[in-house]
Every structure is written in C-alpha cells, then in structure tokens.
Amino acid sequence: MKFLRKLWAIPEAGIFVPLLVFTLVFFCLNQSFLEPNSVAAMLRAMTFVGIIAVGQTWLMIAGGIDLSVGSVAGLCAIVSSWLMKTQGLPVEAGLLAGLAVGFMAGLVNGLIVVRFGIPAFIATLGMLYVARGLNYLLCQGYPIYPIPDPLKDLGRAEPLGLSWAFVAFVLLAGIGDFALRRTVYGRMVYATGGNVEVARIAGINTAWVQIGCYMLTGAMAAVAGMLLMSQLNVGQPEIGVGWELDVIASVVIGGVSLFGGVGTVVGTFLGLLIMQVVRSGLVVTGVNTHWQTVAVGVIMVTAVGVDLLRRRTKIS
C-alpha cells in the first residue's frame, strides 16, 4: 500500500503503471508478444518519431510547440539525397547540408514565434506546409535513388539486432535527458517554460532559450529524416508525413505539460513505449489494424486525465 502510494507520487508513475498493465495483458493474450524478435521490431519502429520527440520534449517544456517536424524531416532527407545524387556532393557534405536545413527551419520557426509573437501553433503549421512544398519542388515528386553506398550500408547494418538509427535514438535520448535535468541550460529551459517573466528577471535570455529549442527540434527532425532515408535506401518525398502527431502524442502522454515547465525525456520515452506497445499488441492479437489509431487517441486523452488526477490527489 505504502509502496503503491510512493509509486503514485513519482511523476512518471501515471504512465509507467499503464505501460506495465498493457504489456502484461498483451503478453497473456499472446506469448509471442515479448519474444526478442518482436521486442526488437517494436523498438525499431519507434526510432524516428522517438528522436524527434526528444527535441520536442525540450521545446514543449520551454513553452513552445513545433508542428512542422514531419515536413522538416522529409525536406532534410530530400535535400541531402538530392545534393549527393544529383549534385554529386560527398556523403559528409550532403548530411551536413541536411542537418543545416533542419537547424535553419528551427531558427526560422523560433524567430517568427519569439520575435514576431506569432503563436507557435500557427507559425509552425505554416512551416509544415512550406517545408513539404519545397520538398516536392526539389524532387518533382519522385523518389531520389540510389543513395551512396556508405549510407546504404549504414542503414542496412543491424548492431545487436537493432539498427544504427536506434542506437542514435538511445544516445540522443540519454544525452537529452541528462542535459535537461542536470545542466544549467536544461534548468533555463524549465524556468523559461515555467514563467517567462521570472526567468527574464533571473537574467536568462529567454528568447534564445526558446529559439534554441526550436533549432534543436529542427535538427532532430533532420537526423530522423536522414536516418530513415539511409534505411529505406531512397530519398522518399513522403518521409515524415504525419509524424508530428505521433511526436506530440508521445510527448504529451509522457507527461509534458502543454503550458510548459513540466516533463522529462524519460517520461517521453515511456510515452513512446506505451504507444508502440499498444500498436504492436493490437497487431499480435489480430485486431483490425485501424483500431490502433483509435487506441492511440484514447490513450493520449486518458494519460493526460490520469496525470491531472495524480496531481490533484497529491495536492489535497
């Protein structure tokens, strides 16, 4: 009883408990659910959305939100593959250029939101369209392939039965979590999202904290987009379509407040896991796949509800 109460008091509990319950239920329904192959498949599936979710966690804690991440991921993949294939640039240059595009998109988002005061929702929704449009303009709507061999090999490799992309995700999530919780910069992010005025009085350059988080999110989108490109072995213009919804859903399920100032990368990781467990679980139990989408929606709203309940019981 006391143990349960303590568990309830941990911020991530609201999400950890349901994750455990879902996993057990699906395991009972179908033992193959927790076989190594199946687990590896689940982990690989959450890689790309997961990488971006790390950046989005920072951004939303700082009080912003970015709806353009999917489009930016697609644009970066196309820009780098176009530079490498059509313009014959070396691999490194192509990748760096892709990353730069991600940073730039984030910078533009950040400047528009912070300097011109256009609501983040609108500004980044605009970027969603702009990036997707540029993407199609550049590739004329056709996939760009083949991509250079080193990249192809990178995408094909299976370290530990997983992928390099997954390794990158784990690394980025680890660094992202540590930096957010334990560094001065992370503290400034929480302060800015908590109350901009208080942060400003403390001498924090809140404008650059927020713009920095937009740039980080843009860069993460670029990384995710290019990693998927290497795995697909083609600069697919549809890369990233609809990702923004999964990213935001998992961040919110993980306990990040839409108002900023609250949340952790660990929470987001659990959020990603729960979404993936439910999706894969419904597949192994043979339910119509469209139920997955329904389930994600229900879970997101429930998770936020449970979190609110947890906070309330803690207060009174």
Given the complex with another protein, which of 152 and 187 has the nearer CB atom?
187
Q: Please, what is the minimum distance in Å from the beta carbon of residue 189 to another protein?
A: 11
CB 250 within 8 A of CB 268: yes
Q: Please, what is the minimum distance in Å from the beta carbon of residue 208 to another protein?
A: 11
The DSSP secondary-structure symbol of 147 reads: P
Q: Please, what is the minimum distance in Å from the beta carbon of residue 103 to another protein?
A: 21
Given the complex with another protein, which of 2 and 290 has the nearer CB atom?
2
Distance CA 2, CA 169 (A): 36
Given the complex with another protein, which of 160 and 201 has the nearer CB atom?
201
Binding region for another protein (CB under 8 A): 182-185, 187-188, 190-191, 193-195, 197-205, 261-262, 314-316
How many Å from the N-terminal Cα to the C-terminal Cα in the chain? 18
Residue in the block written with tokens 């595009």: 101
Q: Please, what is the minimum distance in Å from the beta carbon of residue 204 to another protein?
A: 8
Tokens representing residue 4 in the block? 């349960």
Distance CA 279, CA 111 (A): 37
Q: Please, what is the minimum distance in Å from the beta carbon of residue 34 to another protein?
A: 36
Distance CA 306, CA 287 (A): 26
Distance CA 214, CA 212 (A): 5
Given the complex with another protein, which of 13 and 278 has the nearer CB atom?
13
Given the complex with another protein, which of 289 and 313 has the nearer CB atom?
313
Q: Please, what is the minimum distance in Å from the beta carbon of residue 311 to another protein?
A: 10
Q: Please, what is the minimum distance in Å from the beta carbon of residue 290 to another protein?
A: 38
Q: Please, what is the minimum distance in Å from the beta carbon of residue 126 to another protein?
A: 26
Residue type, 66: D
Given the complex with another protein, which of 156 and 311 has the nearer CB atom?
311
φ/ψ of 144, rounded to 5, equals -105, 115
Given the complex with another protein, which of 117 and 159 has the nearer CB atom?
117
CB 241 within 8 A of CB 74: yes
Instruction: Name, in order, each residue with C-beta under 8 angstroms of 73's C-beta and a sequence gap of 6 or more.
Output: 48, 52, 102, 221, 222, 224, 225, 228, 239, 240, 243
Instruction: Name, in order, each residue with C-beta under 8 angstroms of 84's C-beta and a sequence gap of 6 or more.
Output: 90, 91, 93, 94, 147, 148, 151
